[in-house]
Structure 1
Amino acid sequence: MTSYDAQCLMIAAGLGLGVMPRAIAQEQAAKLGLSIVTLTDSWAERDLLLAVRSLEALPVACRMLVAHLRGG
């Protein structure tokens, strides 16, 4: 069980609410009958990052994916 699973079980039991990624909220809402409220304020926006040990050491396919994800 993940921490999101536990969080959603507590929400389903009426013990509060939770902030989580959209994909997890949608999955858990379908399983547990939860409602989803979309957060639209700028504080709710997130920057996503890639973590690599060495960009140069990645296989070509991985470097191509990185370039694509960076918009290049």
Structure 2
Amino acid sequence: MDQELTVVSNILPAAWVEIVQDGEVVQLFRYSSEGACVADTWHLTVDEAKAQAEFEFGICDHDWAEVGAV
């Protein structure tokens, strides 16, 4: 069975990304330059989220900075 990919919407480019861990849930959020969340992905671990960010944006482990709780 061949499947054809169909674009359903265009995602704005990410101006910055954040990894948020809430209990056992880890999400990689992508934000537009206007501050709107334009996409997110769910991951089992922070390391998996970092690997996804490196794949998509070239962000290496040493590029991350921890910020205080809001």
TM range (shorter): under 0.3
- What TM-score, normalized by structure 1, do the two folds share? 0.26
Give 1 or 2: higher helix fraction. Answer: 1
- What TM-score, normalized by structure 2, do the two folds share? 0.26
